[in-house]
Structure 1
Amino acid sequence: MIGSRLLLAAVSFAVLAACSDNKPAAPAAETAAVAPKPSDDPAWPVAAVADPTTLGFTAEGLAALDARFAKAVVDQDYAGIVTLLAKGGEVAQFNAYGVQSGDPKTGAPMTKDSIFRIYSMTKPITGIALMQLHEQGKWQLDDPVTKYAPELANLKVLTFKDGKPVMKGGKPVLADSSRPATMREIMSHTAGFGYGLGGDDPVNTAFRDQKVLLSKNLDEMMTKIAGIPLIYDPGTRWSYSVSVDIQGYLVQKIAGQKFGDYLKANIFTPLGMNETAFILPEDKAARFANIYTWDKATNALKVTEDPPFTRYDAANEMESGGGGLVSTAHDYARFSQMLLNKGTLAGKTIVKPESIALMAQNQIGDLGIYSDGTAANPGRPGQKFGLDFAVYTDPEAGQNPFGKGTFYWSGAAGTIFWIDPVNDIFFVGLVQQMGGSRPDAINFRNDSGKLILDALKPAAAAAPAAPAKELEPAH
């Protein structure tokens, strides 16, 4: 009986299987592989694609962009420039113009692998490092910074009358701050700290007098900062400050690892940014661009000395999260593509998409970005500040030539980058110029933005009107 039942069951199963239209699922091993991307190769980017018009640009528009940068060198706006434009993960333009070092007209030519002081373009890298630790649950945005840096407790704050610090007996009249700054405020320049790059108020003067940015290391820097009052009560004003150097210290303390070592292990090595560092090796010195300045007396560019707040020799222990790195177009392009990819590159997740979203959205509410780090200005319509990035929240309001949500920053020597998620574009522009430019010189960020968005074929463009002149952030 049992044998008959088994035979009947087997026959029934065979009939059902034969009558079924369903095909068995393919084994997991046969699942289609993800197509490789050019940026999966750590050598990327090397050169532009053979036909950049396939990326949605017009040949005429890209030619106009190239001509504008070439003209900027001929006009002595800059001695030399390296630019890299990418869209959709492919390189549309990667060029070097002019002179890297020596005489601004006849010196060593600029190359695509020249090395630059990126100054404040260090800041977004520091921010990414801190957000990695945020993802690990090691801190929260609204935690007081004193939870991780207790030396910043009980800071005093300047008092003001008629827009000027109140002084008595040659000293500022101070008040207790209402509360410690939060981590969010530390990352959005609303914590109230000074910087020392400009301003004649008592706080910025103290930063210069105590050589905060020339500290031996991050620990010494924090000791100095803890003894200097705030300019503004936390959360009340946007004020460009030393707060990103504080972030570097926080990464070091929370991670329990030297800041530079943390960056190398968790950002530079995974992204293939092998020439981004706080120290410039001697064997790379020949590729290190000079800094130039505009000499009003001769109406010409000339080589100038490095500012005192940065050094790149092997003895340097002050790893400035606010402005201490050197880098190349290749390396910063890989960092930028990671940002455009919402945190990943070459199969490696550096941060989650949620972290990029937090960093690239307004974190300062109704406050305005009213300073370039050295002087007040009337504000930047349509712009806000996220976490270590400025953001174009309403490009049309300021007649800025970018897609809504474009985020950016720049460096004291004129380096720039911007990320336009709407158009799937990033741009990196590297120069080395400080202390003034030729009258009517190129506005590097806005001119690049207008020309690039104009170069998009009509169906792809997502940008508003002509650019407004704006000041470049310092350091």
Structure 2
Amino acid sequence: MLALSVTSADPSVSAASPALRAVNPQAQGFSAERLQRLQDYLGGLVDSGQVPGYSALLARKGQVVWAAHYGMADDVQRVPLSEDSIFRVYSQTKVVTGVALMMLFEQGKWHFDDPITKYIPEFEHLRVFKQQNPDGSLELEDLQRPPTMRELVTHAAGFGYGLGKDTPVEAAYWNDHYIHSASTDAAIAKLAELPMASQPGLHWHYSAAVDVQGYIIERISGQRLDEFMQNHVFGPLGMTDTAFHVPADKWSRLVRLRAYDSTTRTLVDANDPVLVLDYSKPPAVASGGAGLVSTVQDFARFAQMLVNDGELDGVRILSPAAVKLLCSNQLSEQIRSTPGEGFNHDSGWGFGVDVAVITDQAKAGTLRPAGSYEWGGAAGTWFWVDPVNDLIFIGMIQVMNRWGHPQLVNIDKDSAALVYGALVEPEAARH
């Protein structure tokens, strides 16, 4: 028997924190009847066996209008999900790293057009993939110029990543496992020897760029990335369950990691050699691109800080101007005007500091307004921030390869459509 935990609609009942209290949906312009469609949709994915369980939260103007935790945290041991279940957020870590980097930006520690070699001189002699020779070796060419920080924060620097082996460059990164290095300097040394996927500034290419940002944060601040985030983000925001590892006293709350097997069309235990990380102890090198665990409640505090223009509960993390810069398109006109490129003009999307940004609602084909921004993680977590409607949404599952799962591939888009289908008093209608 599956249990459904839904946040109380009584405004006297505290939700995740004093800043995120629960209210009746109607009080914030939502139809309770239409929100039921969202709950039915996500619950249906659990009931039909597509996903073991989910946690999700929707808030507007700092108040929770809907939250639910349904299904199993461990479908093998039959452990139910709860509101404090801990999820691997993988690439949602990137947005946190972007915030940390912007904290240093507003202190004048770096500039968007700085070459990254100003902070990592080991990258002075990076080489770029040209072609693969008949014997399997790679022909490389010299870097024409160092990537800039702006290119680094928009995945336009030219790095590879190694999440798969579909190209010679990605295979080289896959085989290298730089993310598992013994130290930051060792990770940098590995990346310095790997081929770039392209010359800087030519393409949007999902990459190791945010791990590199983490290394730069360490060098500028003089602190380990995990220490910097704890001291300047998690601690101040009260994100008590967000970290790069799970302590022994919290281990039972970590959700089992599953993966979709497209051959058998079943869920199996994940065994990805790159992304199945050991969370039982602090990592030798904290991955700014994929290393965090968190809860729905914690990540709601982070997202609420962003929609509040950088402040939560009287604690300011970023200035309003820095938040605006983070969620503004930073991707070059050259890339955005090229047909077929990721985040080109026709897509209706741009790219800010480690976040995807809606630039044209109609072209993006979404009910979310222009100015909304988002990102997600490899195990199926997703979130977005909507500054226009003062709205945040966080969704969490733990299924790798959800993009290969026909029922989960659009869980983020479908949940967004259902949320905005229930928002009967959007901000534009209130003026």
TM-score by length of 2: 0.90
Q: Does 1:121 align with 2:88?
A: no
Q: Given residue 327 of structure 1, which amino acid in structure 2 is its aligned partner?
A: S
Partner of 2:170: 204
Pick aligned residue for 1:48 from 11, 14, 22: 22
2:204 and 2:342 in contact (8 A); partners too:
no
Pick aligned residue for 1:75 from 45, 48, 54: 48
1:360 and 1:407 in contact (8 A); partners too:
yes
2:357 and 2:372 in contact (8 A); partners too:
yes
Per-residue deviation, residues 201-245 of structure 1 (Å, max 9, x unmatched): 332222122221221232211010011121111111110000100
Q: For residues 199 and 277 of structure 1, what CA distance do their matches in structure 2 show?
A: 29
TM-score by length of 1: 0.82
Q: For residues 167 and 15 of structure 2, what CA distance do their matches in structure 1 show?
A: 50
Per-residue deviation, residues 309-343 of structure 1 (Å, max 9, x unmatched): 42212252120000001000111000000010111
Report the more deviating stretch, 313-322 or 259-268: 313-322
2:378 and 2:401 in contact (8 A); partners too:
no
Partner of 1:272: 238
Deviation at 1:63, TM superposition (A): 1.2
Q: Does 1:258 align with 2:258?
A: no
Per-residue deviation, residues 10-49 of structure 1 (Å, max 9, x unmatched): xxxxxxxxxxxxxxxxxxxxxxxxxxx99x9983477632
Deviation at 1:137, TM superposition (A): 0.8
Partner of 1:225: 191
Q: Does 1:152 align with 2:123?
A: yes
Q: For residues 167 and 301 of structure 1, what CA distance do their matches in structure 2 show?
A: 39
Q: For residues 90 and 224 of structure 1, what CA distance do their matches in structure 2 show?
A: 46
Q: For residues 184 and 159 of structure 2, what CA distance do their matches in structure 1 show?
A: 16
Instruction: State how 1:297-376 maps to structure 2 within 5 Å.
Output: 299-305=265-271, 307-309=273-275, 310-314=277-281, 316-366=283-333, 367-368=335-336
1:117 and 1:326 in contact (8 A); partners too:
yes
Per-residue deviation, residues 282-329 of structure 1 (Å, max 9, x unmatched): 111111001123345654434334654422122521200000010001
Partner of 1:443: 410
Per-residue deviation, residues 226-274 of structure 1 (Å, max 9, x unmatched): 1112111111111000010011111111001111111100000000011
Q: Given residue 282 of structure 1, which amino acid in structure 2 is its aligned partner?
A: A
Instruction: State how 1:89-128 maps to structure 2 within 5 Å.
Output: 89-103=62-76, 107-128=78-99
Q: For residues 230 and 78 of structure 2, what CA distance do their matches in structure 1 show?
A: 33
Unaligned runs of 5+ in 1: 1-36, 160-164, 463-475
Per-residue deviation, residues 367-415 of structure 1 (Å, max 9, x unmatched): 2599xxxx99999711111110011111211312211111000000000
Relative distance call for 1:308 and 1:154 in structure 2 (3 A) is: closer
Q: Does 1:185 align with 2:158?
A: no
Q: Secondary structure at the match of 2:146?
A: coil
1:47 and 1:93 in contact (8 A); partners too:
no
Deviation at 1:457, TM superposition (A): 1.3
Deviation at 1:154, TM superposition (A): 2.1
Deviation at 1:442, TM superposition (A): 6.1
Q: For residues 285 and 402 of structure 1, what CA distance do their matches in structure 2 show?
A: 36
In terms of Rg, which structure is larger? 1
Relative distance call for 1:60 and 1:41 in structure 2 (3 A) is: closer
Q: Secondary structure at the match of 2:207?
A: coil
Q: For residues 351 and 41 of structure 1, what CA distance do their matches in structure 2 show?
A: 24
Relative distance call for 1:340 and 1:458 in structure 2 (3 A) is: closer
Deviation at 1:98, TM superposition (A): 0.8
2:351 and 2:357 in contact (8 A); partners too:
yes
Relative distance call for 1:121 and 1:390 in structure 2 (3 A) is: same
Per-residue deviation, residues 410-452 of structure 1 (Å, max 9, x unmatched): 0000000001111111100010001355434462211111111
Pick aligned residue for 2:110 from 139, 144, 157: 139
Q: For residues 181 and 297 of structure 1, what CA distance do their matches in structure 2 show?
A: 40
Give the aligned length: 414
Pick aligned residue for 1:283 from 245, 249, 254: 249
Q: Secondary structure at the match of 1:153?
A: helix
2:174 and 2:274 in contact (8 A); partners too:
no
Q: For residues 225 and 418 of structure 1, what CA distance do their matches in structure 2 show?
A: 31
Deviation at 1:96, TM superposition (A): 0.3
Q: For residues 126 and 243 of structure 1, what CA distance do their matches in structure 2 show?
A: 11
1:42 and 1:271 in contact (8 A); partners too:
no
Give the alignment's Cα RMSD to 1 decimal.
Answer: 2.7
Deviation at 1:200, TM superposition (A): 3.3
